[in-house]
Chains A and B, each alone.
Chain A
Amino acid sequence: MQYIRSHVLICAGTGCTSSGCKSVEQAMRAEIERLGLTKEVKIVQTGCFGFCKIGPIVMIYPEGSFYCYVKPEDAADLAQQHLLKGRLVERLLYRDVQNPKPTAFFTDIGFYKKQYRVALANCGAIDAENIEEYIGVDGYQALARVVSSMTPAEVIHTVKASGLRGRGGGGFSTGLKWEFAAKALGAVKYVVCNADEGDPGAFMDRSILEGDPHSVIEAMAIAGYAIGARQGYVYVRAEYPIAVHRLSIAIEQARKLGILGQGVFGSTFGFDISIRLGAGAFVCGEETALLASIEGKRGMPKPRPPYPAIKGLWDKPTLINNVETFANIPQIILRGPEWFASMGTENSKGTKVFALAGNINNTGLVEVPMGTTLREIVYDIGGGIPDNRAFKACQTGGPSGGCLPAALLDTPVDYDSLTAVGSMMGSGGLIVMDENTCMVDVARFFLEFTQDESCGKCVPCREGTKRMLEILEDITKGHGTAADIDLLEELSVTIKGASLCGLGQTAPNPVLASLRFFRDEFNAHIQDKKCPAGVCQELLTFSIIPEKCKGCTLCKKVCPVNAIAGAVKTVHTIDTAKCIKCGACIPKCPFKAIVR
């Protein structure tokens, strides 16, 4: 056996691919070859490390040294200093925003300290394109155990006992779902993996498929065994080319080893998986729309009941779970349901992956035990808000969730607590907003999204979200009236109560939550025709505070429409009729004399 003394793990997730990990990898390879280290150093392209903001990320084992913002020209240093001479390359080590001292080891980084990786356990740790690496971390042991020594009922019992709930947003008990599908009558059944991740900014499922596709394949086969299905489908967005590529490789490798196909592990149980590409419609994340899309029809939801577990794909009993849900399954089987249930809160067991985004220092992917508070995620893991600006809100649940204010930062993140405060868990998008965010504008943004993504089938969602958007647009433009708030609330009741699918039933949530927690901002827009955050252009008036203005003319020079008048060393004025509110003058003023 070849002796490898160092492993160079290069993140090859979508984030690091965008920031240039491919050329880093090539440069590292060339450098290692040049130094004659090819026999003792192995380069591994892994899935996502989660800390996307500081990519491309290179981690070197056995030390666990964590290098960030690595460029191809850094390869020489990394190879010569770290790999050849055993010295840390300090300038590439991670530095915390609050603490400029470099952190040598990844376990010491605040971003990772409070995380606990179950679903993401292998992301960033193994080469996703090599099934042996997965097998090396106990991969496919759970499936082997299931087909060789467990009955389907025992498998379902284990999943139920773990307390795992659907990670796609609904939070329905996974074990119960499996049980329904298992009990449904029918010789032909299907297992479907929902990888149609659509929340703006969310990329949990993509990262799992990119970094650990075998865990999903293994879990689907286990599910197939449990419910009596022989065929699985992964419905994944075509915009996830890396995920699709690695998943295809993984399926092929599993087939070659007899893990997929007829007679899994030589047993009488047969299972295979096909990939179906989605065209990126948000609504196709809704299970009945997803099934319609797999069937080759327009992706539109159907009324439930009947639920897919009874009548799903091609009218056959179908089990649908999302990627993250599946990724938990092998470990639940291997480590036992008690282990899984020991994490989290009373009704929300295990961990949850979040995509941290927005006005936050450490953007990226994090996995935390259920019950971790928003504050811990935002400040301890996320590193707080850039430039120490004030926190205003954090949004969970994507277009189905809501914005929660600072007062609720100590809310534990679990299904029930988030629902109780008017938001929801959703699939795991977590967007942080600072003081410069206008909450009316954010509500408008989400309604614009749902209106765009509404399939157009049912009236409340199709027409209702359009009218809510129209009203919100009016408010952000200063045309709002007091009656608008009532109308928004009334429409929300109609849309939530009467829409056909989850998309519509949750579409008003961003507005309702904002009306609950940030009503004063709505009032400011409607009554005072002011946008307190200074975002809504139509409501801004730029003016110069005479006491502060020194007449330096800097603002006048930068104004693109000559709206600022005033001679040198005399107080300047802004002609609001001419002003286009571009804001170019504000940063130019050394005396902070311009306000909006």
Chain B
Amino acid sequence: MERIKLTIDGAPVEVDPGSTVLDAARKAGVHVPTLCFHPELRLEGSCRLCVVEIEGMQSLAASCVYPASSGMRVRTNSEVVRKTRKSIVELLLANHPQDCLVCPRHGTCELQEVSHQLGVRKVRFKNDARALAQDQSSVAVVRDPNKCILCGRCIRICEQVQKVSAIGLAGRGSKAVVTTPFGHGLAEGPCVACGQCIKVCPVAALKEADATEQTWRALSDPTLHTVVQVAPAVRAALGEEFGMRPGALVTEKLVTSLRKLGFNQVFDTQFGADLTIVEEGHELLRRLNESKHLPLITSCSPGWVKYAEHFCPEMLEHLSTCKSPQQMLGALVKTYYAEKIGVMPSNIFHVAIMPCTAKKFEASRPEMGRDGVRDVDAVLTTRELAAMLKEAGIDFANLPDSEFDLPLGMSSGAGGIFGVTGGVTEAVLRSVTELKTGKELEEIEFQGVRGFAGVREAVIALNGMTLKVAIVNSLGQAEKLLKKVKQGEAEYHFIEIMGCPSGCIGGGGQPFSKDPEIKHKRAAALYRQDHMKRVRKSHENPAIRELYRTFIGDPNGEKAHALLHTHYHARPRY
């Protein structure tokens, strides 16, 4: 099709058919301010901040939704455009709390940014910020309707990308609010705690439930032995919070920083991931032998698990009974490790640093502990850890390197790629093929399962049989795939489901980023880590072998079931 030729402020621009005026303006190098627009979401055109003047049109056009067409003459900075934009920001500020200095999004707030960009210097209306109650019912996500500017990004990601619809708009006019079904609070509805809403919120209307206070208290309690584990995706993103280039792999600085915060032991969730692979690999082989409950569906994404419990309870028997790496490691910290160092489990405070908000929910599940002791006592998001490091005055970018503590800090490269969509599958394949064939893999990298397409399929020859696998990222894609599976339109042996788009690297607890290439950069960091590892298959991790030999016994055995496996139950949606 023919390219569209138009002018933006007099300068000619060419764009592809289907482009919007905003696309054209950006191509022309004009930074048109936006709020409701988000590159990963369906267009809304509701904030009207991106208005431009198009010659021949009576009113202004919202450039983010207006299709570009040939011959169009667009003005992006005329007097009426500038005044209108300013006036829109002024209207938004007029009922927004004026507490920027103590706001958690100070510095990353998009409203603040556009206000600054447009030079809004005063608000001529009475400030009538609302005083509605915060929704603190969820252990993972907190909603503050007073900060909300009704851009609808959270609603759209929840409805369109995640297919959960835990939140929606209610009320009319200036009384409109984003709220939960019947206003009952997130915990009472189908919210899966994925935190994607937080990631797209331009202001502080959505944030994670705070675990930093609790962590600080534990760190300064001399009676507690503090242990921390760090998920793979955290090391691929934390540097961004400290001005490092996106995609920097900061593992060793991260370990040093955690010791500086005062943790007694620094373990690696990747150890838990290796253990998960061994358990899940055996589980898969067993199910393949018995031809039972296939496809096996992964269960390491807590958002996905909760989604399955709410939306497809009939599929629960397909979920792997393996706990997630966080909870496997958690169980070991409070048993294996506690025994080893001779400390009462109740005197160990175990913190998990996760790219994820749903991990907060997972850690709180009643199944995840024993004798009244939680396996994981607090879950911090990547952002929360960054905040703690900043508060502690740690110059992260210039820290020296150090290594994880052993044995629960030893991991394979396979455990590391868990953090990106397709990683679990690749890790499972590396182990299962060797376990099944008894021969060493010639090509360890399964390039076919990598990438970011919503649904990916692969067929792997496995000692005479073909193993059909599917990989999805985001719950919306999961819904689509499972529908096909349920209707018999697609058949697989193994399905990897990550609740968040692009997997854990795009988790709801990750740093806010406007880099359109961010997922590629973070993923590259994890694949780089894998490449550099001496051990790249989970079952070859010597610390894992040692663990089975001295503590657990057989994979999927009795002790393994007691400590490393779990069960699920259907949950109502409303």
Contacts and interface: CB of A to CB of B under 8 A. Distances in A.
Given A456-B150, A500-B46, A462 B176 contact: yes
B181 interface: no
Nearest to A487: B124
Nearest to A467: B125
A490 B86 CA distance: 11
Contacts of A467: 91, 94, 125
Interface in B24-74: 43, 45-49, 51, 59-60, 62, 65-67
Main secondary structure of the interface of B (DSSP, over half): loop
Contact of B91 (A302, A451, A463): A463
B559 interface: no
B48 A498 contact: yes
Contact of B174 (A302, A463, A496): A463
B1 to A, nearest CB: 16
A298 B170 CA distance: 9
A462 B84 CA distance: 15
Contacts of B67: 305
Interface in A321-369: none
A410 B51 CA distance: 39
A381 interface: no
A256 to B, nearest CB: 39
Nearest to B43: A303
Interface string B150-170: 101000000000000000110
B92 interface: yes
B173 A500 contact: no
B516 interface: no
A466 B51 contact: no
Interface in A443-486: 451-460, 462-467, 470
A453 B171 CA distance: 10
Nearest to A462: B174
A497 B172 contact: no
A45 interface: no
B150 A462 contact: yes
B24 to A, nearest CB: 16
B175 interface: yes
B439 interface: no
Contacts of A462: 150, 173-174, 176
Main secondary structure of the interface of A (DSSP, over half): helix
A505 interface: yes
A456 B176 contact: yes
B173 A497 contact: no
B88 interface: yes
Contacts of B87: 460, 464, 490-491, 494
Contacts of A491: 87
A194 interface: no
Contact-size category for A: 35 or more
Nearest to B86: A494
Contacts of B88: 459-460, 494, 498
Nearest to B47: A459
B124 A453 contact: no
Contact of A456 (B62, B84, B169): B169
Given A305-B67, A497-B84, A498-B60, A460 B174 contact: no
Contact of B62 (A281, A298, A500, A505): A500
Contacts of A464: 87, 91
B95 interface: yes
B45 A466 contact: no
Name the residue in A298, A305, A494, A498 with the highest tally of chain B Cβ atoms < 10 Å from its Cβ: A498
Name the residue in B51, B60, B171 with the highest tally of chain A Cβ atoms < 10 Å from its Cβ: B60
B84 A457 contact: no
Contacts of B126: 470
Nearest to B91: A463
B169 to A, nearest CB: 6
A455 B60 contact: no
Contacts of A558: none
A456 B46 CA distance: 9
A281 B87 CA distance: 27
Name the residue in B65, B94, B173 with the highest tally of chain A Cβ atoms < 10 Å from its Cβ: B173
A451 B174 CA distance: 7
Question: 6 smallest A-B Cβ distances: which pairs?
Answer: A456-B176, A463-B91, A303-B45, A454-B173, A466-B174, A303-B65
10 contacts: A298-B168, A300-B169, A305-B66, A452-B173, A453-B172, A456-B173, A464-B87, A465-B174, A494-B87, A498-B84
Interface of B: 43, 45-49, 51, 59-60, 62, 65-67, 80, 83-84, 87-88, 91-92, 94-95, 124-126, 149-150, 152, 168-169, 171-176
Given A456-B172, A459-B150, A467-B125, 15 more contacts: A302-B45, A303-B65, A305-B67, A451-B173, A456-B150, A457-B46, A457-B152, A459-B46, A459-B88, A460-B84, A462-B150, A466-B173, A493-B80, A494-B83, A498-B51
Interface of A: 281, 283, 298, 300, 302-303, 305, 451-460, 462-467, 470, 487, 490-491, 493-494, 496-500, 505
